[in-house]
Structure 1
Amino acid sequence: MTEPQSSTPPVTLRAGLLLFPRLTQLDLTGPYEVLARVPGARVDLLWKTLEPVAADTGLRLLPTTTFDDCPELDLLLVPGGAGVNDLMTDAETLAFLSRTAARTRWLAGVCTGSLVLGAAGLLRGRRAGSHWSSRHFLAAFGATPVEERVVVDGHVFTGGGVTAGIDVVLRIVAELCGETTAKAVQLSIEYDPEPPFDAGTPSAAGPEITGFVRARSAPMLEARARAVDVASRALAEGEGTRACEAPRSGHLRA
């Protein structure tokens, strides 16, 4: 007797999106919506446990895979949000990102998620983007801040704030699966933005609106500056220690 054929396509793209407390949910759910519509894609939400995680607006999200059970990935993506301030000095998360990125084909940071990649030592010498209010912090991790909505440097994709995550992942889908697939996904979600106001960047919004947003974000950004300082120092010390431990023969360890 012939067994029925499954209508589910084989997994051809395995993506892992980091989920953490006080992330900005659209940094995560925008890319998730794109990736989940790619034929053959399997998308996991990664965290230390499988307990619900609250975003910065209170929305609760469920991880699907823990760090310990994370499979081999084609794409590892880190979103941003207020929670990156704690994440940049979270040794367990940084170690997970570092070892997972070493065997992942593509790496992505959305919004201030790029700062976490930097804290993990994954952006040194690379061009990278981030949310406009935090882009300058990238330099502390040896990256070159770039004022572009999507920044591509080799296998690393980063981008601007929040909504730019959709653009970042569409570019990745085009690289992985071809432009036809990426365009089909874009059409399926009717991603054809026509914002009601031209206020999506500081230059477009003007000094009054930009100043208002900066003032409202000042406490969080001050805390972020302190976290970046601690994280960048720890990264430099760790890299210095590894350099001292390298064999004296001139050949570095793999």
Structure 2
Amino acid sequence: MDIAFVLYPDMTALDLVGPYDVLAHAPGVTPHFVAATPDPVRCDAGMLIAPTTTFAELDRADVIVVPGGKPFGVLAEGTVAAWLREVHPTATWTTSVCTGSTLLASAGVLAGKRATTHWAVRDLLASLGAEVSTERVVRDGSVITAAGVSAGIDMALALAGILWGDDVAKGLQLAIEYDPQPPYDSGSVEKAPAEVVEAVRGLMLSGFGADRDRTG
């Protein structure tokens, strides 16, 4: 089974690494880190990830995983969306994490479909034609989308259950000891204090705005 993990500048590392650590250890999986060029890709916090192949070289995959990050530069540039339009029709599963759903939408993958994303970009996703859900993981046909960042692990475990059965998925969950017990109950916009939500929203939108300004 070929799983393509999409790389692009300013992506969020955990969006990719979380699903990778769930899915890539399963028997028979060949992971591919695919990007526009063979050069290392710098994530939004500075981590470098090396591609193993390029969009030009990889024209199919059984599973596609699109991480999120700062969306506007990649949306404007269009290379990721163009590749998704080519490979999605033959993929068994196409998935996204966080703002990665905006890339699926820009490729037409989410037209008329329910999907989720990071809470800060729900309006953006809706403007791109998706039916936006506030659920943590959403499956609509062969497309599975996850909410912000850490939800990618939940998405990958859900997909593992579909691909290999519940017992295998439970074993993968145990192997990575995914048993969240956070010290705070503020992991969603619905639960966090209003002042925290506004502070984080301001920081994120200023970062997205800087990204958009660089491409505008």
* TM over 0.5, shorter chain: yes
Matches of 1:16 and 1:150, distance apart in 2:
19
Matches of 1:22 and 1:197, distance apart in 2:
27
State yes or no: 1:58 paired with 2:58: no
Matches of 1:167 and 1:48, distance apart in 2:
27
* Structure number with bigger Rg: 1
Q: Which residue of 2 aligns with 1:75?
A: 63
Q: Which residue of 2 aligns with 1:237?
A: none
Aligned-residue offset at 1:39: 1.1
Query: Alignment partner of 1:194: what SS?
Result: coil
**Unaligned runs of at least 5 residues, structure 1:** 1-12, 231-254
Query: Alignment partner of 1:58: what SS?
Result: coil
Query: Alignment partner of 2:44: what SS?
Result: coil
State yes or no: 1:23 paired with 2:11: yes
Q: Which residue of 1 aligns with 2:103?
A: 116
Matches of 1:32 and 1:150, distance apart in 2:
17
Give the length in aligned residue pairs.
215
Moved over 6 A (4+): 224-227
Question: Which deviations, in whole Å up to 9, do the C-alpha atoms of 1:205-231 show, x marking residues without a partner?
Answer: 11011111112223234467889xx9x
Aligned-residue offset at 1:48: 1.3
Identity among equivalent positions (%) equals 40
Aligned-residue offset at 1:178: 1.1
Say which is worse superposed, 84-93 or 124-133, in terms of deviation: 84-93
Matches of 2:134 and 2:213, distance apart in 1:
23
Q: Taking structure 1 as reference, are residues 71 and 188 closer, same or farther at Cα in structure 2, changes over 3 Å only? A: farther
Aligned-residue offset at 1:93: 2.2
Query: Alignment partner of 1:46: what SS?
Result: strand
- TM-score, normalising length from structure 2? 0.94
Would the aligned equivalents of 1:49 and 1:66 in 2 still touch at CA under 8 Å? yes
State yes or no: 1:183 paired with 2:170: yes
- 1:194-233 pair list within 5 angstroms: 194-222=181-209
Would the aligned equivalents of 2:34 and 2:53 in 1 still touch at CA under 8 Å? yes
- TM-score, normalising length from structure 1? 0.81
AA in 2 matched with 1:53: V
Aligned-residue offset at 1:137: 1.4
Aligned-residue offset at 1:90: 2.1
State yes or no: 1:167 paired with 2:154: yes
AA in 2 matched with 1:66: T
Which of 12, 33, 39 is residue 27 of structure 2 equivalent to? 39
Matches of 1:223 and 1:121, distance apart in 2:
25
